[in-house]
Amino acid sequence: MMSIGDLISETQHLAKTPTGISGLDELTLGGLPTGRPTLLCGAAGCGKTLFAMTFLVNGAAQYGEHGVFMSFEERAVDLSANVASLGYKVDELVAAKKIAIDHVRIERAEIEQSGEYDLEGLFVRLNYAIDSVGAKRVVLDTIEALFSGLTDTAVLRAELRRLFAWLKDKGVTAVITGERGGGQLTRYGIEEYVSDCVILLDNRVQEQVTTRRLRVVKYRGSAHGTNEYPFLIDDEGISVLPITSAGLGHPVSDEAVATGVPGLDEMLGKGGFYRGSSVLISGLAGSGKSTFGGSFVLAACTRGERALYFAFEESPEQIVRNMQSVGIDLRSYVESGMLCFEAARPSLYGFEMHLARMNRDIERFAPSVLVVDPISAFRGPSTEIHATLVRLADICKTKGITAVFTSLSATADMMEEGERSVSSLMDCWISLRDVEASGERNRVLYLLKSRGMNHSKQLREYRLTDNGIDMIDAYLGHDGVLTGSARAAQEARDREQELVRRQGIERRRRELARRRAATERQVAELMAALESEESEVSTLIEQEEARERALEADRVTMAQRRDIRK
Amino acid sequence: MSGKIDDGLPHEEAVAGKYNLRLYVAGQTPKSLTAIANLKRICEENLAGRYTIDVIDLLVTPQLAEGDQIVAVPTLVRRLPPPIKRIIGTLSDTERVLVGLDIRPKGQ
């Protein structure tokens, strides 16, 4: 298994000319083969001419390589007008002698043939144009038009072969466009003569949605990406969605990024999502997915980080207003440029085109957090969605962007096809659910997974309040989780029971006190009785003693009397 | 238009149906020489006194190729009378040259 780095070092001997088209240069590991012709083929409307013109304009504007555009179809004025919509100022480059445009017009009706001829005239023109601006890059668009203008194909073929050899001798990097047709790459089979590099453009319509794709069919002497890659043409030029690293070698971070919902941070165990992780928030309609996204974005902006929000269902204004209603104020951050909304209808282009566009926006805005709301807006074969989401998640991971993807579930029954296909990509999955009971709907969330975190396994109720999302401890009863008014009723019942129990204890305590008082009273009575008996007894004893003393005294008196008589 | 007035003089501009022809070649190749010889012969035989020929060597003046939309060489361009006509090749098929220059209508 070779890494990209190995491939580059191995192909260093082959000089390459960068096209300046983001993505294509990565795909071809540097650009088109320098000093050799490249065939760019595709059906009508694929963007061949734009691609070729971009190659020239970038060469002149960015790499200091002047170019010649030899057009066999469009006039010079039409060409510059057509590419002006991409922001290319061809007229200025022509005036500055950086680009020369030569329109070759061949009308079959005006031409009579008599005897032998060759295409030296074309060579002369091309040579003159190349020398007049000192061109390093040449575009021939579409040289096959010669076949419709001139009848002698044997001569044409021989001359084209000579032309391509001549271009190589001249040392210019040439792009030759060709119309696809007749079961071949080009209608007249000119790929036979241009064998160094062949790039195929394609414009496919699937389910009424068009996706442009590019494939490097061959690249002699160089490794290249072999897959089909979507590309995008819009007012900012052409961008090809780059190949993502084949391995999973992106660096990871231990840093946690707050979710913007304190209760959720607690549940996650680490105080938030890991930086650079991908988070899926799935839930039914109205479960507050966007609000979670909004909270996350707000938290990022408050920390001073840049946030990018891709909206596919609501307009930016609508999102800002709706977030305001739950106390999430995004407007000031939009105005200060910390937060950027990119909104588009999902049906505007194919899923892959959206991805190409998102990639370009990410490149340009360089956010540290990202919200895609929602990924379920895209319809298409799940394999395709999966493949492209892998790329998006990969892009975010390599750039260390924490990405939150929301996904609308159609049913409350756990996973759907789409969710299952993306779940393995996600580091963290928050499932928002509605619990319907006793005639009302309440919102609960739980963490389906969170890689590398000892997260809460609890089902938690949350409310969308005026101050954002409020997490509540869900009531766990023996019948399961109770939410909303059912929870409130259960709590009231509990309070009542508590009261009754407390009252019981109080009654028992009073009873005891009463009995204690009664007992003490009895004890006192008995003591009193005892005391009175005691005092009675002591009186008797005193009387007895007094009587004893009297008797004694009598006896003494009697004895004395007897003594006297003696 | 002065070209329409026949004053009987061999003045070029004044000759009615005057042919202004340009032959583009690239260097003194056998094809170029054949084409030049063929053109002179055809003109002498069919347009005696009513033609001018400019032979342009694109290797010497390449900047002229774009103006007349030259791709193949040799190319004969009939600049006058209008419309502009082009004949490519060594002009070895005299019939086709005459038809191409509207000297002889097709099929005659």
Contact at CB, A113 and B24, closer than 8 angstroms: no
Confidence class for position A133, pLDDT limits 50, 70, 90: very high
CA distance A381 to chain B (A): 49
Query: What percent of chain A has pLDDT above 70?
Result: 90
Query: What percent of chain A has pLDDT above 90?
Result: 33
Q: What is the pLDDT of residue B5?
A: 39
Residues in B touching A102 (Cβ below 8 Å) = 66
Q: Is A358 helix (H, G, I), strand (E, B) or coil?
A: helix
Q: Is B36 on the interface with A (CB under 8 A)?
A: no
- Per-residue HEC secondary structure of A491-541 comes to HHHHHHHHHHHHHHHHHHHHHHHHHHHHHHHHHHHHHHHHHHHHHHHHHHH
Q: Would you give the distance in Å from CA A211 to the centre of its chain? A: 21
Q: Is A123 helix (H, G, I), strand (E, B) or coil?
A: helix
Angle CA A232–A234–A238, to nearest 5: 50
- Contact in structure between A53 and A139 (CB atoms under 8 Å): yes
Helix boundaries (H) for B1-108:
30-46, 64-67, 94-100
Confidence class for position B10, pLDDT limits 50, 70, 90: very low
Q: Is B66 on the interface with A (CB under 8 A)?
A: yes
Provide mean pLDDT across the span A87-108. 89
Res A10 pLDDT > 60: no
Determine if the peptide bond prior to A316 is cis (ω within 30°).
no
Res A11 pLDDT > 60: no
The pair of three-digit structure tokens given for residue A371, joined into one six-digit string: 């919200």
pLDDT digits (tens, 9 = 90+) for A316-341: 999 999 999 988 999 999 999 999 99
Question: Terminal CA-to-CA distance of chain A, rounded, Å?
Answer: 157
Q: Is A151 on the interface with B (CB under 8 A)?
A: no
More confident residue, A536 or B9: A536
Res A397 pLDDT > 60: yes
Lowest mean pLDDT among A42-46, A344-348, A508-512: A344-348
Q: What is the pLDDT of residue B55?
A: 93
Q: Residue A510 and residue A520: Cα distance in Å, rounded? A: 15
Q: What is the pLDDT of residue A63?
A: 93
Q: Residue A365 and residue A310: Cα distance in Å, rounded? A: 12
Q: What is the pLDDT of residue A408?
A: 83
Confidence class for position A420, pLDDT limits 50, 70, 90: low
CA-wise closest residue to A472 among A448, A444, A501: A444
Res A514 pLDDT > 70: yes
Q: Residue A314 and residue A376: Cα distance in Å, rounded? A: 14
- Contact in structure between A377 and A410 (CB atoms under 8 Å): no
Res B82 pLDDT > 70: yes
Q: What is the pLDDT of residue A110?
A: 80
Q: Closest to A124 (Cβ–Cβ): which among B26, B31, B88? A: B26
Contact at CB, A150 and B38, closer than 8 angstroms: no
Average pLDDT, chain B: 81
Q: What is the pLDDT of residue A248?
A: 62
Which residue does chain A place closest to B70, by CA atoms? A121
- Contact in structure between A276 and A253 (CB atoms under 8 Å): yes
Res A309 pLDDT > 80: yes
Q: What is the pLDDT of residue B3?
A: 37
Q: What is the pLDDT of residue A65?
A: 94
| Residues 6 or more apart whose Cβ sits within 8 Å of residue A27 | A214, A216, A224, A225, A229, A240, A242, A243
Which amino acid makes up residue A554?
D
Q: What is the pLDDT of residue A454?
A: 84
Q: What is the pLDDT of residue A546?
A: 93
Which residue does chain B place closest to A143, by CA atoms? B71
Res B8 pLDDT > 50: no
* Beta bridge pairs of residue A341: A309
* Beta bridge pairs of residue A405: A280, A372
Which residue does chain B place closest to A132, by CA atoms? B63
Contact at CB, A115 and B91, closer than 8 angstroms: yes
CATH number of the domain located at residue range(s) A4-240 in this protein: 3.40.50.300
Q: Would you say domain A256-482 falls under CATH 2.120.10.10?
A: no
- Residue found by looking up tokens 């990969």 in the block: A394
Which residue does chain B place closest to A108, by CA atoms? B86
The pair of three-digit structure tokens given for residue A298, joined into one six-digit string: 């707000």
Range ranked top by mean pLDDT from A68-77, A142-151, A372-381: A68-77
pLDDT digits (tens, 9 = 90+) for A447-498: 888 888 888 887 888 888 888 888 887 666 666 667 777 777 878 888 888 9
Q: What is the pLDDT of residue A527?
A: 94
Q: What is the pLDDT of residue B14?
A: 41
* Beta bridge pairs of residue A476: A481
Domain boundaries, chain B: 19-100
Contact at CB, B73 and A120, closer than 8 angstroms: yes
Q: Is A8 on the interface with B (CB under 8 A)?
A: no
pLDDT digits (tens, 9 = 90+) for A519-533: 999 999 999 999 999
- Virtual torsion, Cα A123, A128, A133, A135, nearest 10 deg: 20
Contacts of the segment B61-66: beta carbons below 8 A, 24+ positions apart: B62/A124, B62/A125, B62/A127, B62/A128, B63/A128, B64/B24, B65/A121, B65/A124, B65/A125, B65/A128, B65/B24, B66/A102, B66/A125, B66/A128
Q: Is B62 on the interface with A (CB under 8 A)?
A: yes
Q: Is A7 on the interface with B (CB under 8 A)?
A: no
pLDDT digits (tens, 9 = 90+) for B60-73: 999 998 888 899 98
Q: Is A266 on the interface with B (CB under 8 A)?
A: no
CA distance B88 to chain A (A): 5
Q: Is B21 on the interface with A (CB under 8 A)?
A: no
Contact at CB, B97 and A119, closer than 8 angstroms: no
Lowest mean pLDDT among A61-70, A469-478, A544-553: A469-478
Q: Residue A24 and residue A30: Cα distance in Å, rounded? A: 8
Res A183 pLDDT > 70: yes
Residues in B touching A127 (Cβ below 8 Å) = 62
Provide mean pLDDT across the span A66-86. 89
CA-wise closest residue to A481 among A435, A544, A547: A435
Res A566 pLDDT > 70: no
Provide mean pLDDT across the span A355-374. 87
Helix axes A289-303, A316-325, angle to 10 degrees: 90
Res B24 pLDDT > 90: yes
Determine if the peptide bond prior to B105 is cis (ω within 30°).
no
Contact at CB, B31 and A118, closer than 8 angstroms: yes
CA distance B103 to chain A (A): 13
Contacts of the segment A557-564: beta carbons below 8 A, 24+ positions apart: none
Determine if the peptide bond prior to A259 is cis (ω within 30°).
no
Rounded to two decimals, what is the model's pTM? 0.68
Range ranked top by mean pLDDT from A213-227, A291-305, B90-104: A291-305
Angle CA B1–B7–B8, to nearest 5: 135
Helix (H) or strand (E) holding B84: none
Q: What's the helix, strand, coil split of chain B in %, to 5?
A: 30, 25, 45
pLDDT digits (tens, 9 = 90+) for A269-284: 888 899 988 899 988 8
The number of C-beta contacts closer than 8 angstroms across A and B is 100
CA distance B60 to chain A (A): 10
Confidence class for position A250, pLDDT limits 50, 70, 90: confident
Q: Where are the beta strands (DSSP E) in chain B?
A: 19-25, 51-57, 75-80, 85-88
- Per-residue HEC secondary structure of A376-424 comes to HHCCCCHHHHHHHHHHHHHHHHHCCCEEEEEEECCCCCCCCHHHHHHHC
- Contact in structure between A4 and A220 (CB atoms under 8 Å): no
More confident residue, A482 or A547: A547
Q: Is A282 helix (H, G, I), strand (E, B) or coil?
A: strand
Q: What is the pLDDT of residue B13?
A: 46
Q: Is B100 helix (H, G, I), strand (E, B) or coil?
A: helix
Res B4 pLDDT > 60: no
Angle CA B78–B83–B88, to nearest 5: 40
* Beta bridge pairs of residue A432: A283, A445
Residues in B touching A113 (Cβ below 8 Å) = 87-89, 96
Domain boundaries, chain A: 4-240, 256-482
- Contact in structure between A446 and A461 (CB atoms under 8 Å): no
Tell me the DSSP string of A427-464: SEEEEEEEEEETTEEEEEEEEEEETTS------EEEEE
Helix boundaries (H) for A32-152:
48-62, 76-84, 90-95, 120-133, 145-149
Q: Closest to B65 (Cβ–Cβ): which among A121, A149, A150? A: A121
Residues in A touching B71 (Cβ below 8 Å) = 104, 106, 119, 121-122, 125, 146, 149-150
Average pLDDT, chain A: 84
Residues in B touching A114 (Cβ below 8 Å) = 87-94, 96-97, 100
Per-window interface: A 82-121 vs B, CB < 8 A: 102, 104-106, 110-121
Q: What is the pLDDT of residue A415?
A: 57
Phi, psi for A273 (deg, rounded to 5) = -80, 155
CATH number of the domain located at residue range(s) B19-100 in this protein: 3.40.30.10
CA distance A208 to chain B (A): 42
Residues in B touching A128 (Cβ below 8 Å) = 62-63, 65-66
